Amino acid sequence: MRQLISDCFEGVVAFLPRLLGLGRGAKRGIVILCDAMLCLIAVWLAFSLRLGEFYGVFRDYGPGMLLVGAVCICLWLPIFYRNGTYRAIFRYAGSGTIVNLAVSCIAMMVPMVIGFMMAGIVGVPRTVAVLQPLIFFLLLALSRIVARYVLVDLLNQRSYAGASRRILVYGAGHAGQQLASSMRLEPSMTLIAFVDDDSRLGGQRLDRVPVHHSSRLDTLIADFEVTDLFLALPNIDRVRRRAIIDALEPFHVRVRTLPAMREIVDDQVSIESLREIDIEDLLGREPVSPNQLLLSRTILGKTVMVTGAGGSIGSELCRQIVRLRPQALILVEMSEFALFTIDDELRRIAASEGVDAQILPHLVNVVDKSQIDSCMARCEPQTVFHAAAYKHVPLVEANVIAGSRNNILGTLNTAMAAEAAGVSHFILVSTDKAVRPTNIMGATKRVCELVLQALAARGSRTIFSMVRFGNVLGSSGSVVPLFRRQIREGGPVTLTDRRITRYFMTIPEASQLVIQAGAMAEGGEVYVLDMGSAVPIAELARTMIKLSGMSVRDESHPNGDIEIVEVGLRPGEKLFEELLIGDGQQPTRHDRIFRAREAHRGQAEMEDALNRLRMAADHGDEDAVKAIIRSLVPEYRNVDAISLDASAG
């Protein structure tokens, strides 16, 4: 008998792959047929329980059972279809499915109670009207549970032949429970336990899985040979997240995390929601909430222009601006593909959030004075954010004339066109590399600042201001995606210099601060964003390697997984970035924005230098372009000096 049962079970498990491979309609038909059988079985059980006998009940109450069975079948199918019971997917059945079954069975019970209990039918006990729907519900719920938690789990285990990842979930809350449920459908993953900081949960179980206090992490990882740890804590702040990540760094496990709950669509957590640990998780500081009055002052109901609208900063500025409901948003970009991409995205954002602002894309190269003059005069913007620039240090270093044209002359053309068109606020997106620059890119951005300072000093009606900040996460050329790709490929991870430190900020945070700084401007100010503490790039690389579940290979650990290789500073690269030229900075109404008034040059001197720069660029004289830039930015040091400083350090 035992062998027969075992053979039947094996046959059912072997048949499951064929069943799951059937079309949606065929599977729905099989489920309906099974439920019809359960409905009739529930009739038999209801009569049997009521009468206290199981074998002779049909002989004595056959007509009554047939009548009840026919009524139940006639009620069951339309009610269950109406409630969408057969649109659910068994393998993902959960509490929502059980609730739906309960509602449908109650809907069945109501007419049965009226027909059999109140009216009374000869040969049908009255209580059957209540017993049958209750038993039917229990049978249906049991069938879903068996399908969801037993048969599909068995099938997954048998269909996966590889080594399973052994998982700890950090966080025994709602998100952790949903993540564990999703993991049951992944045959390549075995959930070992939950870990939580709440000592009250230690020793308990969540969905049959044990919960341990976080103080036992090292023991659990060692004893159960854990390969991965999932952070299921979507609502914690950056400070707490950074503390947890620091605590996990010594363990050779791959760490992945859920994003903030607001980023998870419809509050549904799944394996697909997980992402790699990013530098944003390592910043260790919370973004300051924006001042809504400052955000809206130069945007709400106004015509706003963003140059370089398809770039990293320009595109995020556009996303922030369109949500602030301008009258019109003018996108200025010289790349057709970049302009198409951001235009399409903004239209979808506007449609989903009910924003009726006009979005006007313009293919314009700001270096061409006639193009930007025409665009500015035609659109008549009230606020301009100038983000168009070449920003990649090595590329600009190798293309001095192109970089100088685009950055310096493009800024001059845009600023002059804005002034002629009566623009109210003109905000330049600058960079920390403009402070005591060691490369052409930084020097050109410092000249851009000098251009606007000179225009502001002569008493322009347009309020010119500049916002200076460091590296933004996710921008083109960011070091984080490079490190992640190198780790994924097995290394080595390349550093230009182990002593390098950089400031980091998220693109949305930087863009919001740029908008707010521009709203505070009175003319000629340089605003500096508080970037927090500088991050050592070497430590960032080591942390990313360890949180990927690998070890660093070096002299003390020759058998490690990935080596960190120092390749030398790139032309014009600085070891340490700065944000201020002078010694002091003044606070503003925003906690993260400071104001600096720095020395600038007169209008006549700037006009002469810029005319000479334009002529030198037109003649292709790179040495003359460099000499003019150096005369305007005397603190700019050449590449040879940088190399000497780096080697001396």
The pLDDT score that the predictor gives to residue 165 is 80
Residue 197 tokens, joined: 């900081």
Residue 32 tokens, joined: 């309906």
The pLDDT score that the predictor gives to residue 239 is 72
> What is the C-alpha to C-alpha distance for residues 356 and 301, in angstroms, rounded to an integer?
11
pLDDT value at 509 more than 70 = yes
Nearest by Cα to 466 from 405, 528, 412: 528
Asked if residue 492 has a cis previous peptide bond (ω within 30° of 0), the answer is: yes
Type of residue numbered 631: S
pLDDT digits (tens, 9 = 90+) for 199-250: 888 778 887 788 888 888 888 888 888 888 888 877 777 677 777 777 777 7
pLDDT value at 283 more than 70 = no
Type of residue numbered 461: R
Type of residue numbered 508: P
pLDDT value at 349 more than 60 = yes
List the beta bridge partners of residue 188: none
The pLDDT score that the predictor gives to residue 370 is 94
pLDDT value at 372 more than 80 = yes
Environment class of 454 (CB within 10 Å of its CB; exposed 0-12, middle 13-18, buried 19+) = buried
Question: Could you tell me how many helices (H) and strands (E) the chain has, helices first?
Answer: 24, 23
Mean pLDDT of 484-490: 82
pLDDT above 90: percentage of residues in the chain? 23
Q: What is the dihedral of CA 319, 322, 328, 332, to 10 degrees?
A: 0
Q: What is the dihedral of CA 228, 153, 144, 209, to 10 degrees?
A: -40
pLDDT value at 644 more than 50 = no
> Which of 476-490, 510-524, 571-585 holds the top average pLDDT?
510-524
Give the start-to-end residue ranges of the domains of the chain.
Answer: 17-159, 165-277, 296-474+503-531+578-646
Residue 205 tokens, joined: 């179980």
Q: Do domains 165-277 and 296-474+503-531+578-646 have the same CATH topology?
A: yes
Residue 311 tokens, joined: 């770039």
Fold classified for 165-277? Rossmann fold (3.40.50)
Interacting residues of 16 by C-beta distance below 8 A, sequence separation 6+: 151, 154, 155
Higher pLDDT, 254 or 149: 254
> What is the C-alpha to C-alpha distance for residues 520 and 298, in angstroms, rounded to an integer?
10
pLDDT digits (tens, 9 = 90+) for 404-429: 999 999 999 999 999 999 999 999 99
Rounded (to 5) percent helix, strand, coil in the chain: 55, 15, 30
In this structure, of 199-203, 387-391, 453-457, 626-630, the range with the lowest mean pLDDT score is 199-203
Type of residue numbered 422: G
Tell me whether strands 205-206 and 209-213 are parallel, antiparallel or unpaired. Answer: antiparallel
Residue 91 tokens, joined: 């393998």
The pLDDT score that the predictor gives to residue 229 is 85
pLDDT value at 648 more than 50 = no
> In which band, very low, low, confident or very high, does the pLDDT at 42 lie, cut at 50, 70 and 90?
confident
C-beta separation of 520 from 291 below 8 A? no
In this structure, of 263-267, 355-359, 436-440, the range with the lowest mean pLDDT score is 263-267
pLDDT value at 399 more than 50 = yes
pLDDT value at 526 more than 70 = yes
SS3 264: coil
The pLDDT score that the predictor gives to residue 483 is 81
> What is the C-alpha to C-alpha distance for residues 171 and 230, in angstroms, rounded to an integer?
9
pTM above 0.75, yes or no: no
> Which of 12-26, 454-468, 618-632 holds the top average pLDDT?
618-632
Spell 62-90 as b/e; 16+ CB within 10 A means b: eebbebbbebbeebbbebbeeeebeebeb
pLDDT digits (tens, 9 = 90+) for 60-118: 777 777 888 888 888 888 888 787 777 765 555 566 778 888 888 888 888 888 877 77
pLDDT digits (tens, 9 = 90+) for 561-589: 888 888 776 665 666 565 544 455 677 77
The pLDDT score that the predictor gives to residue 584 is 59
Q: For 296-474+503-531+578-646, which CATH superfamily applies?
A: NAD(P)-binding Rossmann-like Domain (3.40.50.720)
Q: Where are the extended beta strands (E) located within 366-441?
A: 383-386, 425-429
C-beta separation of 310 from 339 below 8 A? yes
In this structure, of 424-438, 500-514, 604-618, 622-636, the range with the lowest mean pLDDT score is 500-514
**How many angstroms separate the first and last alpha carbons of the chain?**
82
Mean pLDDT of 470-490: 72
Mean pLDDT over each residue of the chain, to the nearest integer: 79
> In which band, very low, low, confident or very high, does the pLDDT at 508 lie, cut at 50, 70 and 90?
confident
The pLDDT score that the predictor gives to residue 444 is 94
pLDDT value at 643 more than 50 = no
C-beta separation of 328 from 360 below 8 A? yes
Q: What is the dihedral of CA 541, 547, 550, 552, to 10 degrees?
A: 30
> What is the C-alpha to C-alpha distance for residues 508 and 235, in angstroms, rounded to an integer?
19
> What is the C-alpha to C-alpha distance for residues 128 and 474, in angstroms, rounded to an integer?
65
Nearest by Cα to 179 from 248, 234, 235, 100: 234
Mean pLDDT of 297-315: 92
Higher pLDDT, 379 or 190: 379
The pLDDT score that the predictor gives to residue 645 is 41
Helices 312-323, 336-353: axis angle to 10 degrees equals: 20
Nearest by Cα to 41 from 132, 134, 130: 132
Nearest by Cα to 541 from 502, 485, 495: 495
